[in-house]
Structure 1
Amino acid sequence: MKREVYFDNAKLLFIFLVVFGHLIQPLKDNIEVVGALYQWIYLFHMPIFILVSGFFAKGAGDRGYIIKLAKRILLPYFMFQVFYSVYFLTIGKSSWDQAVYDPQWGLWFLLSLFSWHMLLIGFKKIQPVIGIPLAFLIGIGAGYLPFIGPDFSLSRTFVFFPFFLIGYWLHSAQLYKWQTIPKKVTAAGLLFAVFAITYVTPRIPVQWLFGSQSYNGMDVAMTGGLYRALLYGVALLMVFAVLMLIPRKSFGFSNLGQNTMYVYLLHGVIIQYAREANLLAVDQNLDVLGLAVIAASIVWLLASKWVVTFAQPIVEGKNDLMQTWLQERRGRQKAYQMKEKSS
């Protein structure tokens, strides 16, 4: 698939929101603005990140495709599950000893990503006008089953699958067609209005935003479906509002959007250490600007060429970038030696 800078910009923005959201999470109960900003981000940032993941899904179902998918997604999951378990133990994190079916940190995304691709094998055969509403109904209905929870990331898989499916059926031409000035103004106004409402109303329990618990586990066994449907509606409005505002222009940093999986898998190393070492002890509203700069720096670092080159074997299961780097280094050394001899 030909790369489109629009989606590189989009993925870069969304991974920044993921990192920023994780960075401010411990502060959301202490600083009013941070609490509102955290909820505002979590209303849409994973749905939109998942939607873009669905856009790049191929949806094949043959045996070779499934094996390749397992190597690309499940193998890194197991490797990082072990890595984070050991790492959390070394930095003194109390909840480090999680079972293999209970994902560490943000690794639930990998389990769900594999499952979404499997679900897509069947759902791609259903017309989107039927399949997408059906996916939303399944996401709503899953909350009524008490055995569907955080284990194996089952709850999140069903709750967020509709956005993955929407992304699969979405065409970039549709998005570009919607990017008119009036629609952009409306989109920006909508996002601002949601933030204002979030700021002045009571906070939504974070379990609703995570999508990882059954309704019974959140003490709304009867009315949970209605609440989730309302959150779906808000998320959809915010998702498409943000998509209308993503620039199609190429920037000097746009290419970093190609490496968002590296940022997603590795940023826990930095943020969890910062939490355990109490390095995030801020207490002023304006401090959130500093945290935004820190989040952007983390994204830039982990998406950089050097980190991607050396982390590629465990993230993607291949080492072509490392081989290229070694060849270039040998070439420079050889050229230097030849220059020394000639002089």
Structure 2
Amino acid sequence: MERDSYFDNARLLMILFVVFGHLIQPYQDMQLLHMSYTWVYTFHMPVFIFLAGFFAKGAYSREAVEKLAKKLLLPFLFFQIIYTIYYYMIGKEGWMESILVPQWALWFLLSLFCWHILLIPFKKIRPATGIVLAAFLGLLVGYLDEIGSALSLSRTIVFFPFFLTGYWMTKEQLGKLKKPPIQIGAVLVLLTAAVMLYLYPGMPTDWLLGSKSYADMGASGSGGVTRFIVYLLSAMMMLSVMALVPAKKFSFTKYGQRTLYVYLLHGFIIQWIRVDDIFEVNNGLDILGLLMVTFTIVLLLSQRWMLRLWKPLIELKSP
């Protein structure tokens, strides 16, 4: 089957946002970068998770679960060890706070496995009912102080509604987002969000990460309402981005097939940059430089020789 360029373009765009968001995280003292960081985090992981759900088939047999564990859990364990050793070598603080907490962005592999398993019971529920139930669980989990970053439990539950929505979404429904009036509305949503986040920069980004309880974020009583608002914001931003992703095949579209490699490997570069404090950001030209670094990282980690080098660990296949 021929690959759909729309989805590869979406993946490539999101991995660029992921890398850029991680790159600018230490420089949020500059208001423009703080706005950019918060703006990116309102949609980049929801879109990634939505796309993962769109292509999910679920695990409905012992063989399917074993195959899924081999595909996701073994690479998770390998990279958990590799990143721990790497952090120790570069002198990163807190390099081993807890063996139960996934290093860097590895939480996504662990949560992705759990989301596929959760499809087993949720597939038996009507789509709308299941999505509402998943969102309710996401609101509820914030009140449980015991559930946090360990084993990525909090993020698994908080982001599951986006995965389930992607699972039930059809290509025809996605196609309706490409209508001109909707695309104009999408541009307005994205621009309005950027302006509001710039003018009112007080929104804590912890609400967008889904890894902490409400008590840890200082909102024991009102946390559920705040998360509900965040759900609505992320859903609007996600659909707006999906409406604007081009469906045309470009020369760079092929890199959208290799985003898993970029996602798992870019942490080696980003954390080295952070620990050695390589960049100093003071003006617009510095921000442009960070954009260039982002494109360079994604392009470098998408090369075929890089795929051949890491394929045994990521896909458990020989080069």
The 5-angstrom pairing of residues 275-286 of structure 1 reads: 275-286=274-285
| Map of 2:19 onto structure 1 | 19
C-alpha distance in structure 2 between counterparts of 1:110 and 1:261, whole Å:
10
**TM-score (normalizing by structure 2):** 0.98
For the 8 Å contact 2:177–2:242, the answer to whether it is kept is: no
3-state SS, counterpart of residue 217 of structure 1: coil
For the 8 Å contact 2:280–2:286, the answer to whether it is kept is: no
| Map of 1:168 onto structure 2 | 167
C-alpha distance in structure 1 between counterparts of 2:98 and 2:2, whole Å:
39
C-alpha distance in structure 2 between counterparts of 1:69 and 1:203, whole Å:
40
1:2 shift after superposition = 5.0
| Map of 2:67 onto structure 1 | 68
C-alpha distance in structure 2 between counterparts of 1:161 and 1:178, whole Å:
22
1:100 maps to 2:99? yes
3-state SS, counterpart of residue 146 of structure 2: coil
For the 8 Å contact 1:34–1:285, the answer to whether it is kept is: no
C-alpha distance in structure 1 between counterparts of 2:99 and 2:72, whole Å:
15
C-alpha distance in structure 2 between counterparts of 1:280 and 1:61, whole Å:
48
Between the two proteins, what is the percent identity of the paired residues? 48
1:177 maps to 2:176? yes
| Map of 1:329 onto structure 2 | none
| Amino acid in the other structure paired with 1:285 | G
1:122 maps to 2:134? no
1:171 shift after superposition = 1.4
For the 8 Å contact 2:273–2:279, the answer to whether it is kept is: yes
The 5-angstrom pairing of residues 158-237 of structure 1 reads: 158-237=157-236
C-alpha distance in structure 2 between counterparts of 1:96 and 1:192, whole Å:
38
Unaligned runs of 5+ in 2: none
C-alpha distance in structure 2 between counterparts of 1:191 and 1:59, whole Å:
32
| Amino acid in the other structure paired with 1:317 | L
| Map of 1:251 onto structure 2 | 250
| Map of 1:83 onto structure 2 | 82
C-alpha distance in structure 2 between counterparts of 1:26 and 1:183, whole Å:
35
Unaligned runs of 5+ in 1: 323-343
List per-residue Cα deviations over 1:301-332 (Å, max 9, x = no partner).
Answer: 1111110111100001111xx2xxxxxxxxxx
3-state SS, counterpart of residue 6 of structure 2: helix
The 5-angstrom pairing of residues 44-63 of structure 1 reads: 44-63=43-62
| Amino acid in the other structure paired with 1:36 | M
| Amino acid in the other structure paired with 2:215 | N
| Map of 1:4 onto structure 2 | 4
C-alpha distance in structure 2 between counterparts of 1:2 and 1:203, whole Å:
45
For the 8 Å contact 1:55–1:167, the answer to whether it is kept is: yes
For the 8 Å contact 1:78–1:100, the answer to whether it is kept is: no
C-alpha distance in structure 2 between counterparts of 1:303 and 1:172, whole Å:
27
1:156 shift after superposition = 0.4
| Map of 1:334 onto structure 2 | none
List per-residue Cα deviations over 1:144-177 (Å, max 9, x = no partner).
Answer: 1111111010100000000000111111221122
| Map of 1:333 onto structure 2 | none
List per-residue Cα deviations over 1:183-239 (Å, max 9, x = no partner).
Answer: 111111110000000000032212211110111111211110000000000000000
1:253 shift after superposition = 0.8
3-state SS, counterpart of residue 216 of structure 2: helix
Of 7-16 and 287-296, more deviation after overlay is shown by 287-296
1:285 shift after superposition = 3.2
| Map of 1:294 onto structure 2 | 293
C-alpha distance in structure 1 between counterparts of 2:201 and 2:7, whole Å:
34
C-alpha distance in structure 1 between counterparts of 2:279 and 2:116, whole Å:
37
| Amino acid in the other structure paired with 2:107 | W
3-state SS, counterpart of residue 202 of structure 2: coil
C-alpha distance in structure 1 between counterparts of 2:50 and 2:268, whole Å:
26
3-state SS, counterpart of residue 216 of structure 1: coil
Q: Over aligned residues, Cα RMSD in angstroms?
A: 1.1
| Amino acid in the other structure paired with 2:10 | A
| Amino acid in the other structure paired with 1:234 | L
C-alpha distance in structure 2 between counterparts of 1:287 and 1:133, whole Å:
43
| Amino acid in the other structure paired with 1:300 | L
1:118 shift after superposition = 0.8
Deviation >6 Å, runs of 4+: none
C-alpha distance in structure 2 between counterparts of 1:109 and 1:56, whole Å:
16
For the 8 Å contact 1:155–1:211, the answer to whether it is kept is: yes
C-alpha distance in structure 2 between counterparts of 1:297 and 1:219, whole Å:
38
C-alpha distance in structure 2 between counterparts of 1:53 and 1:100, whole Å:
26
C-alpha distance in structure 2 between counterparts of 1:179 and 1:202, whole Å:
31
C-alpha distance in structure 2 between counterparts of 1:286 and 1:63, whole Å:
54
For the 8 Å contact 1:85–1:98, the answer to whether it is kept is: no
| Amino acid in the other structure paired with 2:297 | I
C-alpha distance in structure 1 between counterparts of 2:260 and 2:45, whole Å:
14
